[in-house]
Structure 1
Amino acid sequence: MAATFGKYPSLDKQWRKMMFSFYPYLSTKNRNATQEEWKIRRLIWDFKDGKAFSNVAHLVANKLIQLYGSETKNIIFACVPASSAEKNEKRYKNFSSMVCQLCGMCNAYDHIKVKGEKSAEHDNVDKNDIHNKQEIEFDQDFFKGKKVIVFDDILTKGFAYAIFANKIEKLGAEVLGGLFIGKTVYTTN
């Protein structure tokens, strides 16, 4: 993200915060993936389909406990909405509930409503169009004065994360940073 600093001043604040990803996610443009890279791809794809949420929930909850210990009880867990209300429910409803049960965080799922659809950041759309066809309604009272960790499945360039984090901070919350299953890479070492 460091190369992007300064180019999008309203997003820089979020990109300077903690952004942790568990795995490198090799772009599907690279067809020469190793067996391990295919395993990571399948985990992320299964998560997006609502299938692998338990494994990912344990991974995320353990990391949150490692980072914040007993303070997790004072932090809200909020997922960057998927491209539609249907996909958002399939992907995040059970997952966010399990993460919060495992680590004692407060679940924001029921306090964020998704209407309409958006393009995914990795669909190569202009950053200004990511959320233009999607309306996200927040329960402002729920977020005001709270600390928040943002979660998204894949960190590509960070626009979706930063835009969402900015919206949460406009409600009076403090975003501590973001967690991601994978961070997109385009070549292997």
Structure 2
Amino acid sequence: MIENLTISISFSEVEEAHVGNYFHLSEMSGEFLIIQKPDNTFYFLCSNDCDIVGICQSFDWYIVSKDAFNDRLIIGIGLSDKESINGELYRVQDETTLILWRDILRFTFESDFVRQFFPYNTHFKGKMRIDGALCFYIHDYYPTRCKDISVFDRKTSNLVFRFKEGRQAALVAKIFSLCIARMPFFKEKAANAVLIPIPAATRERNITRFARFCSLLSHRLKVVDGFRATWIKEDREQMKGTHGQDKLSNLIFHPDYFKGRDVFLIDDIISSGENFTQMKRKLIQLGAKSVTGLFLGKTVKSENQK
């Protein structure tokens, strides 16, 4: 059996993470190989008797997918913490096994073969000002009417759709936490911040999309969860991308959540910016100190829209 159990971890975070397994990796059962990448992703291949979930939890790493590779091995991909590392953590039978497992992981996750159809970017792609407020977005987003788009852009669309359905709250919360935590504005405002989503069109969609997501992200960032800062008193037709309509008429605001605070106003997609503008102005009017916009994607306009 050969092994490398040396791994980097931020000791400033030790008290906040469940790092017990970090001190007992040599006692973990089974064989495993974890390849860490500089973009915060990690791949793993391990035997069925290896507690890969325990290992990852000990470093506060998030497992995106975990599947059976064969009747003896499990393969998967995840996102690590904000400290980018390039290296390996392993215990395997011999050098031949190590080389084989490396090749399996690199073929699965680094070749043109697409196993998991999501993007894992952990940096904001762009920024802009909307109504004077600084806004950041992670991906370019092409609407469904755009057919001739790249594989990566289709991955983005897939992540957006799954997030809207409430099926990838934990993954998107992890991605946002990595993007936000490394930004200067977060370090300046974190102690006084509240996270508020731009409400969806209906109560059901709003709860499905944002309730768990806001809870997870606010916990990761250690900011106030402002999901209940607004309440939908009646459902309305979807108005995203429209102009000149009052998009807040069906909302009740609870200023106690955000009065005097720096608001991180978050949504899946920014299109015309009108939803954001109306929300931002209302929050400031009711006492918010500042508003920063955070978005999973920014709609790319077609040529005839420019």
* 1:145 counterpart = 2:260: yes
Decide whether the 8 Å contact of 2:192 with 2:262 is kept in 1. yes
Using the alignment, how far apart are the partners of 1:168 and 1:141 within structure 2? 11
Secondary structure at 1:116 match in 2: coil
For residues 186 and 144 of structure 1, what CA distance do their matches in structure 2 show?
35
Give the count of matched residue pairs: 173
Secondary structure of the structure 1 residue equivalent to 2:260: coil
Cα root mean square deviation, aligned:
2.0
Q: Distance in 2 between matches of 1:51 and 1:74?
A: 30
* Cα deviation code 1:111-146 (max 9, x no counterpart): 321122234344x533315344xx211212222111
Structure 1 residues 137-146 or 98-107, which shifts more?
137-146
Structure-2 residue corresponding to 1:43: 159
- What amino acid maps onto 1:130 in structure 2? K
1:5 corresponds to = none
1:45-94 deviation digits (Å, cap 9, x = unpaired): 00000011111101112222222137423200000000011100000000
- Which ranges of 4 or more aligned residues in structure 1 deviate by more than 2 Å? 13-16, 117-122, 124-127, 129-132
Q: Secondary structure at the match of 2:245?
A: helix
**Corresponding residue for residue 230 of structure 2:** 112
Structure 2 CA distance for partners of 1:164 and 1:51, relative to 1, 3 Å: same
Provide the rounded CA distance (Å) in 2 between the counterparts of 1:141 and 1:173: 10
Equivalent-residue separation in structure 2 for 1:14 and 1:35 (angstroms): 30
Map 1:158-177; keep pairs closer than 5 Å.
158-177=273-292
Mean Cα deviation higher: 150-159 or 69-78: 69-78
Query: Where do 5+ consecutive residues of structure 2 fail to align?
Result: 1-128
Shift of 1:187: 4.4
Q: Which residue of 2 aligns with 1:130?
A: 247
Q: CA deviation at 1:176?
A: 3.0
The equivalent of 2:200 in structure 1 is 82
1:164-185 Cα offsets, whole Å, 9 max, x none, are 1111111111233100000000
CA 1:170–1:69: 2 relative to 1, 3 Å: same
Larger Rg: 2
TM-score (ref. length: structure 1): 0.83
Equivalents in 2 of 1:141, 1:47: separation in Å? 28
TM-score, normalised relative to structure 2: 0.53
Match runs of 1:63-102 below 5 Å: 63-67=179-183, 68-69=186-187, 71-102=189-220
In structure 1, the residue matched to 2:138 is 22
The 1:138/1:127 distance shift into structure 2, 3 A limit, reads same
Tell me the distance in 2 between the aligned counterparts of 1:53 and 1:138.
24
Percent identity, aligned pairs only, is: 24
2:177 and 2:300 map into 1 onto residues whose CA distance is 24
Higher relative contact order structure (alpha carbons within 8 Å, sequence separation ≥ 6) = 1
